[in-house]
Amino acid sequence: MSYISTTDTQKKQMLDVCGVDSIKKLFADIPPELQPKSFALPGGKSEFELHSFFQQLASKNYSHLVNFLGGGFYDHFIPAAIDALVSRSEFYTAYTPYQPELSQGTLQAIYEYQSDICRLTGLDIANASLYDGGTALFEACQMAISATGRRKIVMDGGVNPIYRKMINSYAANLSIELVDISVSHGQSDRDAIFKAIDDKTAIVLLQNPNFFGVIDDHSDIVNQCHEKGILAVQSVYPVAMALLKTPGEQGFDIATGEGQSLGLPLSFGGPYLGFMSVRKELARKMPGRVVARTTDTQNREGFVLSLQAREQHIRREKATSNICSNEALCALRAHMYLSLIGKEGFKEVASLCYNKANYAKERIKGIPGVEVMETSPTFNEFTIKLPMDAAECAGKLIDLGFAAGFPLGRYYKGMENYLLIAITEKRTKFEIGRLAEALEAVVCQ
């Protein structure tokens, strides 16, 4: 293999530009164990050689595994038309549409996406500027702190632990009190939540279905919160909203969630899409931007940015949010997905997820030593208890061709033998059967 060589003169010229006299000083701020071991870069390759090289690298990934992983990110079917449409240059080069006269197409797409989210969640107003589900949930907390003047957050233990960790990280250097409430039999512990909320509480964080896949109606908790002047937010799985009671129907003030399941590929963790909708009374506390439909002086319909809390240049030190980016490309994918699949198609996807998960439960129930947790109803995810360490079991199932589920012991102490399994419309009856057989082979060996 040939390597690119650099002459001493070239090295000196580069170091002079950087203002240092040696390579060692250039990397002085990096710990020695993390410094580059060599600068002997390989020479250039042809397109064919490069393609072959990366194919070999890609083959080292576990892309062949049948996916039963969930935990907030799901392997849903994505219509081919989405990639074809979203890759058009009009869309993938678009940035924040500050000049409405030049951006009507982008503005309309964002407006339609906002309308989708309002229909899904049953709330009044949605934005289009959140990075992911965890960020959206923290932004809801900031909204509540600003709206109520209180600084206490009560978090249900069924909220995605990744989101809860993000919130703890965001709040680490802020004067915010965080209270974690453990779940009870997979559902929100009402007694513990009611005991924790008081006149210092700004917001209560809930999730439906929660991280264990459990479905819950939080209307009673919301009512108790409102009696004490507390805002309530529900983080939701959008596909489940096709069948379940919406946050709006339960009385929530804010709904947030991860939009990855709406036509976005898993893509090794992103980019994803956080969504948010609120009651109209909270519109001016919402971060990001809101597109509205209006008419001009000649009564022609058009679209404009009606609210844009781009904090850096509007509110500066009084800002309640650091959200300023434009997530329109990911939001556009979500709108395309919902438009292509339609209302009835969306319900069918949700029904397939639910019914196939129930079928998987029945198959797994027959495995000696394996217990399916059924104290509460679930949507497309459910928890099983194994007669062995769940992480060890999942590792052995990888060797058999399955990404079998998420070991809950990673985030929940005392649940080392519990595995969270997710079923989407893509999983076939044959694949579910093969998983049950492989699981039985591992736990009964």
CB atoms near residue 61 (< 10 Å) = 9
Average pLDDT over residues 187-209: 97
Domains, the chain, ordered by start:
8-54 (no CATH), 66-76+344-443 (3.90.1150.10), 80-337 (3.40.640.10)
pLDDT tens digits, 309-361? 555 456 666 666 766 666 788 999 999 999 999 999 999 999 999 999 999 99
What pLDDT sits at residue 51?
A: 94
- Across the chain, what does the average pLDDT equal? 91
- Does this model's pTM top 0.85? My answer is yes
pLDDT band per the 50, 70, 90 thresholds, residue 61 = confident
Pairwise CA distance, residues 358 & 364, whole Å: 10
What pLDDT sits at residue 355?
A: 98
Pairwise CA distance, residues 251 & 21, whole Å: 65
Q: Which two tokens stand for residue 156?
A: 């249900």
What phi and psi, each to the nearest 5 degrees, are found at residue 146?
-65, -40
Average pLDDT over residues 50-66: 88
CB 440 within 8 A of CB 388: no
Q: How far is CA 20 from the centre of its chain?
A: 43
> When comparing pLDDT for 404 and 315, which is higher?
404
Residue 58 has pLDDT above 80, yes or no: yes
Closest CA to 239 of 74, 356, 112: 74
Average pLDDT over residues 15-37: 86
Buried b (16+ CB within 10 A) or exposed e, 145-174: bbbbebbbbbbbbbbbbbbbebbeebbeee
Q: How far is CA 276 from the centre of its chain?
A: 12
Average pLDDT over residues 352-375: 96
Q: How far is CA 214 from the centre of its chain?
A: 18
Residue 1 has pLDDT above 70, yes or no: no
What pLDDT sits at residue 401?
A: 94
Pairwise CA distance, residues 258 & 273, whole Å: 6
pLDDT band per the 50, 70, 90 thresholds, residue 173 = confident
pLDDT band per the 50, 70, 90 thresholds, residue 73 = very high
Q: How far is CA 126 from CA 57, 330, 350, in A?
A: 41, 15, 22
Rounded (10°) CA dihedral 43, 45, 49, 53: 50
Query: Mean pLDDT highest for which of 117-121, 131-135, 284-288?
Result: 117-121
Average pLDDT over residues 264-279: 92
Amino acid at 256: T
Rounded (10°) CA dihedral 12, 14, 15, 19: 130
What pLDDT sits at residue 307?
A: 75
pLDDT-above-70 percentage for the chain: 93
SS3 content of the chain, % helix, strand, coil (to 5): 45, 20, 40
Which segment of 82-96, 114-128, 178-192, 198-212 scores lowest on mean pLDDT?
A: 82-96
CB 327 within 8 A of CB 399: no
